């Protein structure tokens, strides 16, 4: 059906450094200096997200290392037509983090349960700590525009690392409902984040 | 073909909330479902922002370890593609008469690169947008075209063919009903329209690549989640020449 390439956010480019895509092209050709720049650009996001999901700093560091090395190893396979570089890398990071959650369920169980109970509060705390960051404010604002069920479904899965079945259990809702709320919550988030408000 | 049930899995899929077996099944479906993969790409950009919002500095020592490891890690070879097809080949042959003026304004420039729109924001987004705009305007071949949209509001395109880059600015767009969206297109010289994104309100949008060889910008009003072919009755076409 539709083939739109959407979410029309302008890429942010440091004119002195070349675009992330240019950087990535150099990385794909084996340029270690370019990779070091890419690391500076992406590692905080990778580490932040992984730590958000896994919580354990040492483990998060280890998984961040795996992901960044994987970015290097598979750089030639990145296709800018299929999404932004940040999206490609964070998708990889999130997936790795989730794999760890699922494979190390036993050690993580307790922490995760605690995290789940307070996911929204914690989100606010995290956001509070960096209120100078416009993007964080925007994300927080947009999250608050979701219904509670949408927001919980999205954040428990994304930040909490839960499967939709686990989310349904935690929120005491039907599986189909949770699947639908994850989707319409993300759609609303997408639309909200796509608004400049100017 | 696409049942609502399967389609709803785009959400859990991008959140990595599907169990392994369902994920594998959905990925098989994705390969055949273009609207699903388009939606996955879009929703992924939304989750990317969720991820970016919790960025935290890793311990400084990590960088040295990663750099040491990549020094001894061989990279995968690139996938060798046989003659890559155009990235977003939305074919729509336009009636020659209705685009008479465009034909007159047509630019014959060969070679269209991929249209890559990067969709994440950084800190100080507005400042950076302004810098991008300033940088683009400073290009010696920078051109600006603008037009009033049939649906109200204005669209302005600032472009640099040499940089193969353009910024589209949408101003004063009337608010649409909840089920409608603005859709932005680029028309190539054979009058095929290529969707470059959706907009629900005023915004600026940077398009990198795929500018060369495009002769016009189109803006239409479509039903969500966007259309594969522009709805001509709502189309405003602004020649980029």
CB contacts, 8 Å: A163 with chain B: 12, 17-19
* B237 bridge partner residues: B218
At residue B161, φ and ψ (nearest 5 deg) are -60, -35
In which band, very low, low, confident or very high, does the pLDDT at A108 lie, cut at 50, 70 and 90?
A: low
Q: What does the DSSP assignment read for B47-83?
A: HHHHHHTT--PPPTHHHHHHHHHHHT-PPPPPPPPSS
A49, burial (CB in 10 Å: exposed 0-12, middle 13-18, buried 19+): buried
More confident residue, A114 or B131: B131
The whole model's pTM is what? 0.56
Question: How high is the ipTM of this complex?
Answer: 0.78
The verdict on a CB contact (< 8 Å) between B43 and A65 is no
At residue B157, φ and ψ (nearest 5 deg) are -120, 125
Nearest CA in chain A to B11: A183
Q: What is the pLDDT of residues B112-125, one digit of tens each?
A: 333 333 333 334 55
Note the pLDDT of residue A182. 97
Mean pLDDT of B88-95: 46
CB contacts, 8 Å: A40 with chain B: 63
Q: What is the pLDDT of residues A129-166, one digit of tens each?
A: 433 467 888 999 999 999 999 999 999 999 999 999 99
Nearest CA in chain A to B51: A49
Note the pLDDT of residue B138. 81
CB contacts, 8 Å: B50 with chain A: 139, 154-155, 158-159, 189
The verdict on a CB contact (< 8 Å) between A19 and B201 is no
* B185 bridge partner residues: B195, B218
Q: What is the pLDDT of residues B2-59, one digit of tens each?
A: 456 787 899 999 999 999 889 999 999 888 888 888 899 999 999 999 999 999 999 9
Q: Which of A1, A9, A74 sits opposite B119 (nearest CB)?
A: A9
Q: Is the dihedral of CA B188, B196, B218, A12 positive or negative?
A: negative
Note the pLDDT of residue B217. 83
Contacts of A75 (CB under 8 A, 6+ apart): A24, A27, A28, A35, B75
CB contacts, 8 Å: B68 with chain A: none
- Residues 136-165 on B with a CB inside 8 Å of A are none
Whether B201 contacts B175, CB under 8 Å: yes
Q: How far apart are CA A57 and CA A6, in angstroms?
A: 35
Q: What is the pLDDT of residues A71-106, one digit of tens each?
A: 999 999 998 888 889 999 999 999 999 999 988 765
At residue A28, φ and ψ (nearest 5 deg) are -60, -25
């Amino acid at each position: 059906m539709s083939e739109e390439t959407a979410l029309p956010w302008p890429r942010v480019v440091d004119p002195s450094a070349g675009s992330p895509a240019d950087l990535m092209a150099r990385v794909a050709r084996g340029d270690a200096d370019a990779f070091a720049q890419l690391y500076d650009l992406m590692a905080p996001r990778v580490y932040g997200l992984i730590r958000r999901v896994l919580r354990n700093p040492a483990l998060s560091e280890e998984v961040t290392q795996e992901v960044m090395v994987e970015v290097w190893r598979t750089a030639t396979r990145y296709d800018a037509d299929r999404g932004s570089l940040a999206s490609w890398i964070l998708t990889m990071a999130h997936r790795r983090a989730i794999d760890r959650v699922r494979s190390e369920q036993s050690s993580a169980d307790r922490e995760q349960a605690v995290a789940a109970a307070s996911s929204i509060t914690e989100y606010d705390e995290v956001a509070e700590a960096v209120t100078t960051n416009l993007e964080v404010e925007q994300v927080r604002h947009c999250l608050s525009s979701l219904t509670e069920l949408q927001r919980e479904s999205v954040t428990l899965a994304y930040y909490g690392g839960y499967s939709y079945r686990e989310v349904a259990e935690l929120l005491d809702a039907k599986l189909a409902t949770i699947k639908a709320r994850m989707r319409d919550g993300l759609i609303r988030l997408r639309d909200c984040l796509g608004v400049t408000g100017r | 073909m696409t049942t609502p049930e399967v389609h709803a899995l785009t959400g859990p899929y991008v959140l990595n909330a599907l169990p392994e077996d369902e994920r594998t099944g959905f990925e098989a479906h994705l390969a055949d479902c273009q609207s699903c993969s388009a939606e996955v790409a879009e929703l992924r950009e939304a989750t990317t922002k969720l991820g970016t919002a919790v960025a935290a500095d890793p311990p400084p020592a990590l960088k040295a370890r990663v750099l040491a490891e990549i020094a001894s890690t061989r990279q995968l070879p690139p996938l060798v593609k046989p003659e890559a097809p155009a990235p977003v080949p939305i074919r729509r042959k336009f009636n020659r008469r209705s685009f008479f003026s465009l034909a007159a304004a047509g630019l014959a420039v060969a070679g269209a690169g991929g249209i890559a729109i990067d969709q994440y924001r950084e800190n100080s987004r507005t400042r950076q947008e302004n810098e991008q705009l300033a940088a683009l305007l400073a290009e010696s071949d920078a051109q600006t075209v603008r037009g009033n949209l049939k649906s109200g509001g204005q669209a302005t395109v600032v472009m640099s063919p040499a940089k193969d880059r353009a910024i589209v600015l949408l101003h004063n767009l009337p608010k649409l009903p909840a089920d409608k969206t603005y859709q932005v297109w680029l028309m190539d010289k054979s009058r095929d329209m290529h969707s470059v994104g959706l907009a629900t309100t005023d915004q600026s949008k940077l398009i990198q690549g795929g500018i060369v060889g495009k002769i016009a910008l189109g803006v239409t009003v479509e039903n969500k989640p966007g259309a594969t072919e522009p709805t001509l009755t709502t189309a405003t076409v602004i020649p980029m020449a």
